[in-house]
A and B are shown apart, each in its own frame.
Chain A
Amino acid sequence: MANLKTSEKKTKAQSMGLHTEVLTGKTQQKFFNPDEAENFYYWGTYDVDFNKRTDLDVKDLDCKEANRKIDDLMSQGYGTIVIKNPQGKHSLGVGILNKLNLIFEGSLGYFGVGSIDGPTVRINGRVGWSCAENMMAGKVVIEKNAGSCFGAAIRGGDLICKGSVGARTGIDQKGGTIIIGGDAGAFTGFMMQRGRIIILGDVGINLGDSMYDGTIYVGGKIGSFGSDAVESPMTKSDMDWLKRKLKVAEIGENFDMSKMTKVVAGKKLWNYDALEPTEKKGAI
């Protein structure tokens, strides 16, 4: 585990739950050096022109064929792609690592737009389980409902569902923001580590169960708190941030912030230590 060195300077960001630790652990040093040029290049990315637009009907394509077709179109410079007749197919629009306007005219099945880094996606329907899993950056807007494990393990970006979502929304979330216009199911924010979840409606049982960190805002009723999830006072910074975020997300702009409950980790389950596994072994 990385060694967490906490800055002593209290900032406005910290008061809102943001973090300023510097990761200095050996794992980080060994596997990710931000100074290395190779870390700035993504294989399989394209320069696209947003004004170059095309439609793609995937009615008779399976998910692999459809995804290859999207890749082909991006390689030709198309920056706005409208997918017709997705009809609940699984794993559509996954692994897109560049800027792109991607519009789905219909619903997606499981694992839609997973592992993306950069595109702006609009889905004019519903999505199944694990939508946008592992998203790194970008924006995904779902007009209707979403299934369980919505935004599992996302690292960044904005993930917005205007309807209701299933269970375990934001499970293992590591960054970014998830916004839900309706209700959310059980175990929302389960084991989340960073980032924020905003739910304008009600939420089910075990909210924030075993969360390490991050913040959950709930506008409606809470079924129950999970292990180590605790209520925290709403600050002006929270309200300002929420107002701005909801406005940008075009959802709940006029929501009454006084109804919001802020939920954070009680940190009683924290059991970090400063030693790397190999160092620990030596010490023992």
Chain B
Amino acid sequence: MCGIAGLIHRGKSSNVGSELQQMLQALKHRGPDSTGYALYAENDGKNFIMRFKVGENVGEGSTSVNEDASVYDERKKLVDQMLKELGANIVKDEKLTPYSYRYEMQFDKDLMEFSKKIESINGVEILSIGKSLELIKDLGDAAAVSERYGLGDVKGTHAIGHARMATESGVDIKSAHPFWGYPFSDVSVVHNGQLTNYWNNRRVLENKGMRFMSECDSELIAVYLAEKMRNGATLEEGMKDSLTGLDGVFTYFVATKDSLGMAKDTMAAKPLVLYESDDLVAMGSEEIAIRSILPQEIDTYDPFDGEVKVWRI
């Protein structure tokens, strides 16, 4: 089933960490396996923020292989070494959990080559790179993940998130949403639905040099859009192409540094409720997600089949 939620404040910042947590917690019944946040935070915009993991959260019930914490530490050392070799200057590093890190760094070369090198280290996956994107995903509900990573105080302009019920792949962080739009900085995607031409598309995109880190069908959307944008399409053009390029049922959100978009398949088989005002757009799989931050009486609506919308901050 899965639940997705997103919001964008236009012309101002707000406490998006806390707001998204409330929205996702209201959707917990749609997906209790893992929760993910893509927060576009109030950072200074000078340094890249890289979030990466060196292992899985086996303690919380991940279906991945159990590994010793010393293996994680060894991988982290290899990442540090590789960053030096690539010429990245680490400004700040934080260990968030035994298996995940947040680095602020200065880097001005090709992100695709950079990512390939880092991810060539066994067991290492970059969750996101961006100047404002803070992508956090882990097992547990929205409140548990928010508390684990201290997201309650994060301020920013927009955010998307996902409460996952695992159906197509394992219960682990690598299959959790949001997915980073590799190799673009600050691009993230969440999805509710099933894609039926995943393997066909994956083979084509891998042949074009794109990378897949999981076997979750939703990752295809992030890779699909990234590949379109790599070839010069705008976000909106890529999203419109996806309505015919992707087969199956889907409602998905995509966020970039300064925008938030939604797309709904031509069967309109997956739910989405939308609230739109001059200074705020909030949307979710169910109205209760929006009500969790806007308890007053508001006008909401369901976007129609095949609809694509993009809002800017």
Q: Which residues of A contact B (CB under 8 A)?
A: 87-90, 106-107, 109-110, 125-126, 128-129, 144-148, 163-168, 183, 185-187, 204-205
- Cα–Cα distance between A89 and B288 once the two chains are bound (Å): 7
A87-B291, A128-B286 are contacts. A148–B268 as well, Cβ < 8 Å? yes
Asked if B212 CB lies within 8 Å of chain A CBs, one says no
B260 CB to closest chain A CB (Å) equals 21
Give the one of B273, B295, B301, B304 with max A CB within 10 A.
B304
B263 to chain A, nearest CB (A): 15
The secondary-structure label for the interface of chain B is: loop
Please tell me if B302 contacts chain A, counting CB pairs below 8 Å. yes
A88 to chain B, nearest CB (A): 4
Could you tell me the distance between the alpha carbons of A87 and B268 in the complex, rounded to whole angstroms?
24
CA of A168 to CA of B304, assembled, Å = 11
Q: What would be 20 A-B contacts, judged by CB atoms less than 8 Å apart?
A: A87-B295, A88-B291, A89-B288, A107-B297, A128-B286, A144-B299, A144-B300, A145-B300, A145-B301, A145-B302, A148-B302, A166-B302, A167-B304, A168-B268, A185-B302, A185-B305, A186-B267, A187-B268, A204-B304, A204-B305
CA distance A222 to B290 in the complex (A): 31
B201 lies within 8 A of chain A by Cβ: no
Asked if B238 is at the interface of the complex by the 8 Å CB criterion, the answer is: no
- Let me know if B268 and A186 touch, CB within 8 A: yes
The residues of A that contact B288 with a CB separation of less than 8 Å are: 87-90, 109
Question: A126, B286: Cβ atoms under 8 Å?
Answer: no
Residues on A with C-beta less than 8 A from B301 are 126, 145, 163-164
**Within 8 Å of chain A (Cβ to Cβ): is B152?**
no
The residue from B266, B267, B287 contacting A126, defined by CB atoms under 8 A apart:
B287
Q: Are B271 and A205 in contact (CB under 8 A)?
A: no
Contact check: which of B266, B268, B306 meets A166 at CB < 8 Å? B268
Specify which chain B residues have a CB less than 8 angstroms from the CB of A89 in the assembled complex. Answer: 288
B 257-312 contacts with A by CB, 8 A? 266-269, 271, 273, 286-288, 290-291, 295, 297, 299-302, 304-306
Inside 8 A of B271's CB, which chain A residues have their CB? 128-129, 147-148
Given contacts A109-B286, A185-B304, 19 further A-B contacts (CB under 8 A): A87-B291, A88-B288, A88-B291, A89-B288, A90-B288, A110-B286, A126-B287, A128-B287, A147-B302, A148-B268, A163-B301, A166-B302, A167-B304, A186-B267, A186-B306, A187-B267, A187-B268, A204-B268, A204-B305
Q: How far is the CA of A125 from the CA of B271 in the complex (A)?
A: 18
Of chain B, the residue at the smallest CB distance from A127 is B287
Question: Closest approach, in angstroms, between the C-beta of A167 and any C-beta of chain B?
Answer: 4
